[in-house]
Amino acid sequence: MKVLVIAETNWIEDIALVQDLRSAYLHQLKDERKIGIAVPVYSLHEADGSLDKKIAKRIEEIDNFLHFLGRIGQSKPYESLCSIVKNTLKKFKSKSLAEKGEIKRVLNKIKMSVDIIPYTATSALNADLRFESMASI
Q: In the chain, where are the structural domains located?
A: 3-135
Residue 29 CB neighbours (<10 A): 15
Interatomic CA distance for residues 133 and 136, integer angstroms? 5
Residuewise pLDDT in 10s, the chain (137 residues): 478 888 999 999 999 998 889 999 999 999 898 999 999 999 999 999 999 999 999 999 999 999 999 999 999 999 999 999 999 999 999 999 999 899 999 999 999 999 998 876 666 666 555 555 545 54
Model pTM greater than 0.75? no
Q: Is 54 exposed, middle or buried (0-12, 13-18, 19+ CB in 10 A)?
A: middle
Q: In what order do the strands lie in the sheet with 115-117?
A: 3-6, 35-40, 115-117
